[in-house]
Structure 1
Amino acid sequence: MKRGLALILVSFLLIGLLAGCSGEQKAEAEKTKDGKVIVNFWTFWGSETRRPIIEKIIDDYNTSQDKVFVKHTFLPWGDIWTKNLASVAAGNPADVIINDINTVSQRAENKQVEDLSKYVDDSFKQQFYPHLWETVEYDGKAYAVPFNTDTRLLFYNKKAFKEAGLDPNKPPATWAELEEYAKKLDVKKGDNYERIGFYPLWGSVGASSWMTNADSGKGFIDNGKLAINTPKKVEALEWILGWKERLGENTVQAFQAEFGSEQANPFIAEKVAMWVDVGTFYTQLRDYGQDIEFGVAPIPAYQEGTGNFAEGGGFVAEVPKGAKHPKEAMDFIKYLTGVDAQKYWAVKNYDNVANKEAAEATVDELEGDDKTVYEATVKNLEQTKMFPIPVDYPDYHSRINPQVDNALLGKMSPEDALEEAEKDVSKMKK
């Protein structure tokens, strides 16, 4: 009995000793051996291309000063969001995380992210494109800093233009011209299409983009008011259906069944003559479509003078709620979103960045088609619309998309579909 009791006492002593060591290690882990504060930085950039780029930026920051050491952790896309929320709830989050640009307000309202207002002033804000900075503010306070973004352009095949008798240096400027050009660019052999001039739902573009374009750049929620069932959005859906009716459902589905990436992309395979995509699509075109003579232009306007509106997205750097080192985290974020780091990211990734000076410097550094396309994307940011998720209508797209799909499938008229969508979304308001 005495021997058993002694073993139990020894076990408790060992557990206590190990717990003490664990606590000491945890405390020490917040600083390096030479006293630098460790800032834990989570991203989903783990590819062979992007990971070396972000880690080079981190290394440059770490060697640029002697107070902070940034430690990078890669988490797969999807996992990073759930782990972030779980770590915030547990009170042990990362210090900096890369997150979605259009949902900052949601996280701010839910107290999942730190208020960064005391670290920024007007001169800092002015470094960024205004439409991007607007996405990171909630109730007049900044809860993140824009990192990168995107925009959509019309890519067109100049050789196909010449074959169709079109001026290769004059892309379509309006929807009417887009239809006119597309019909001339179609190539049919019997009843089958060998090449389709254009189809509005192919590429990195959806029905919502065309509805925004037609409706003077308005999204589904405009200044806090619903703008779903509007005459122009109804007209845009009817316009999309007109393309499907002209080409035929079977033709559209047959072409889509063969779509892929790289050489199998229909624009690169020269099966589609005009294609809307994000600016970074150019890297696929550059690497796998070397023989294609192409041009880029803004998305055609609904009518002359109504605006070449495109939709954009992107990511921000933010400090999760409860982070241990918000001040040091913000110091790193300022470096990450500064001119040098942003330019390096832009040049190496061929990515649109949020810092205006860095974007312009990237244009100056590039040459040839690299420069032409990147410059077009930077200019296009002036007409790129961001649609942050309002706190009053969380996940409103889940109420709209099924109704839009019903319209595109012919199950409902566009007007009935959008009317139903607006009713569904109106029920969400808190």
Structure 2
Amino acid sequence: MSLLVALTLPAAGCVGKPAGTDTGQNADVREYTLTISSNALAGGKNAAMAKWTTEYVIPKFVEAQKAKGINATVRFEGNGADDKDYKTKVALDLKTGGGADVQEIDGIWLGEFAQAGQAKPLADLVGQDKVDAWEGWSRIPPAVAALGDFEGRRYGVPVGTDGRVLYFNKKLFAQAGLPADWQPRSWDEILDAARKLKAVPGIVPIQLNAGTAMTEATTMQGVLPLLAGTGKPVYDNGKWQGATQNVKDVLGLYQTIYSGGLGDPLLQQEAKGRDKSFAQFADNKIGILLESDYFWRAVLNPANGVAKMADRDSAVGWARIPAQRPGSGVGGQDFVSMSGGSIRMVNPNTKYPRQAWELLQFMNSFDATRARVADTPQITVRSDVNDEVLKGDPMLTYVSKEVLPITRYRPGLAQYTPVSAALQQATADVVAGKSPDEAAAAYQQAVVKAVGEANVATG
């Protein structure tokens, strides 16, 4: 049984009747109290977010309300729990009519919360006109704003996001006779580059995450962007992909890479395989690697990366992930990507929906977003903030301008977790020597068991 239907005692916070049937509830009050919740804690997990909330958002918002003659009190409910435990707490709070007025949740949880009635579309809470009037929507690419959408309705505002690209080592590319401005336009062109890199001694031409040891990294930095490149995401028109031709094509690419000596199959089976791949790339031992912008700013960062690469800025190139063939990606796209991130939403139980929405807009305004990132180059969901804070970082600017407008997100449904695990196992089977057809058949059995045969597409 889903955690979202569990019961507990009401939690502290905004306990009241759901506001979904009264978008003007308490709209004209001159004094109110709101709470903000996120999985952040001063001196602990996501400490910078907690500091920004308490030292910037709350005093600045209260000051702005006071200037309008409104006495607002805003409190921060910090958490420092494991993501699973935090999700459980939020779900139980919402189920029993409690919880903070403004909630931050992982975007992948949204569909599950919405289906359980514990998240409501913003328009149902504050009115469509109030939602549409926010200037921020014009600054957030539609593909990014989709993180806060479910089944065509807008539930919240994305907090932050990322994008996935192909990284490549320019020094190894030069040795292989490949261009420094490489941009493949198909899977075949990726494979052509990998085969040329194979001639460079002592290196792995391409690292494409596979197997169960890399867990969700296999799905997000491997299977899902490749599936998007075949034209169909893993969840489409209410059904999960089973042993479709799309899935078989993705597994076929894995087979070509790992049975053809273009990738290191043993690396995919090691418990620390992903970390090892990071170190190998930084040591000029991997030619091409699919990863998120995290790889650039936190892994290879010459100053404080986990696998520092002293010449990162000159030696590392990046390119968009091509569709299987030009135009074959989702929506007819030539290039694809996947992103993750969290969203902020208005609690359906709040007694002050209009005020909570005003606070939510304030938290995602230009000034507040700019204050949150401070002087650290970091991709935000707002293009106007990115234009300012990323201008000194060409890679992150590239993701903001070229990748975010074409990105996609994981389906925010509880069933995603077992489907993702099944995809990881399918890639592990191929790396171990099974054919794409065999791996796809076993994958379909696992998905049918997890979601039911009626919810699986096979065509």
Cα contact 2:158–2:344 (8 A) shared by 1: yes
Report the count of equivalent residues: 386
Q: Relative to 1, partners in 2 of residues 1:104 and 1:387: Cα closer, same or farther, differing over 3 Å?
A: same
1:65 partner letter: Q
Deviations 1:311-343 (A, max 9, x none): 122111012332343332221110111222223
The alignment status of 1:87 with 2:93, answered yes or no, reads yes
Q: Relative to 1, partners in 2 of residues 1:109 and 1:355: Cα closer, same or farther, differing over 3 Å?
A: same
Mapped partners of 2:347, 2:447: distance in 1: 33
The aligned runs of 1:4-23 (5 Å cut-off) are none
The alignment status of 1:337 with 2:337, answered yes or no, reads no
Cα contact 1:238–1:414 (8 A) shared by 2: no
Structure 2 residues without counterparts, runs of 5 or longer:
1-11, 16-29, 329-333
1:382 partner letter: P
Please state whether the residue corresponding to 2:74 is helix, strand or coil: strand
In our comparison, the structure showing a higher alpha carbon Rg is: 1
Displacement after TM superposition at 1:220 (Å)? 2.0
Please state whether the residue corresponding to 2:73 is helix, strand or coil: strand
Query: Share of identical aligned residues, percent?
Result: 19
The alignment status of 1:199 with 2:218, answered yes or no, reads no
Cα contact 1:296–1:376 (8 A) shared by 2: no
The alignment status of 1:298 with 2:320, answered yes or no, reads yes
2:355 partner letter: E
Mapped partners of 2:282, 2:268: distance in 1: 17
Corresponding residue for 1:52? 51
Q: Relative to 1, partners in 2 of residues 1:168 and 1:256: Cα closer, same or farther, differing over 3 Å?
A: farther
Mapped partners of 1:142, 1:62: distance in 2: 27
Mapped partners of 1:374, 1:130: distance in 2: 18
Cα contact 1:404–1:414 (8 A) shared by 2: no
Displacement after TM superposition at 1:84 (Å)? 1.2
Structure 1 residues without counterparts, runs of 5 or longer:
1-22, 27-34
Corresponding residue for 1:212? 227
Displacement after TM superposition at 1:296 (Å)? 1.5
Displacement after TM superposition at 1:234 (Å)? 0.6
Q: What value does the CA root-mean-square deviation take over the aligned residues?
A: 3.4
The aligned runs of 1:403-422 (5 Å cut-off) are 405-406=425-426, 407-408=429-430, 409-410=432-433, 413-421=438-446
Mapped partners of 2:54, 2:354: distance in 1: 21
Cα contact 1:185–1:197 (8 A) shared by 2: yes
Please state whether the residue corresponding to 2:159 is helix, strand or coil: strand
Corresponding residue for 1:173? 185
Determine which of 144, 153, 159 is the counterpart of 1:147. Answer: 159
Determine which of 104, 108, 131 is the counterpart of 2:110. Answer: 104
Please state whether the residue corresponding to 1:311 is helix, strand or coil: strand
Cα contact 2:163–2:399 (8 A) shared by 1: no
Segment of structure 1 superposing worse, 150-159 or 170-179: 170-179
The aligned runs of 1:73-84 (5 Å cut-off) are 73-75=77-79, 76-78=81-83, 79-84=85-90
What TM-score, normalized by structure 2, do the two folds share?
A: 0.73
Q: Relative to 1, partners in 2 of residues 1:137 and 1:276: Cα closer, same or farther, differing over 3 Å?
A: closer
Q: Relative to 1, partners in 2 of residues 1:74 and 1:349: Cα closer, same or farther, differing over 3 Å?
A: farther
Cα contact 1:346–1:359 (8 A) shared by 2: no
Displacement after TM superposition at 1:398 (Å)? 0.8
Q: Relative to 1, partners in 2 of residues 1:295 and 1:138: Cα closer, same or farther, differing over 3 Å?
A: closer
Mapped partners of 2:34, 2:404: distance in 1: 32
The alignment status of 1:69 with 2:95, answered yes or no, reads no
Displacement after TM superposition at 1:308 (Å)? 1.6
Mapped partners of 2:186, 2:360: distance in 1: 41
Deviations 1:333-369 (A, max 9, x none): 1011122222343564543323343334444xx21xx
Mapped partners of 1:213, 1:304: distance in 2: 12
The aligned runs of 1:179-328 (5 Å cut-off) are 179-186=191-198, 194-201=202-209, 204=217, 205-216=220-231, 218-247=232-261, 252-253=266-267, 256=270, 259=273, 265-284=279-298, 285-286=300-301, 287=303, 288-292=308-312, 293-306=315-328, 307-328=334-355
Determine which of 175, 179, 196 is the counterpart of 1:163. Answer: 175
Deviations 1:218-249 (A, max 9, x none): 21222324443322321110210222212399
Segment of structure 1 superposing worse, 411-420 or 336-345: 411-420
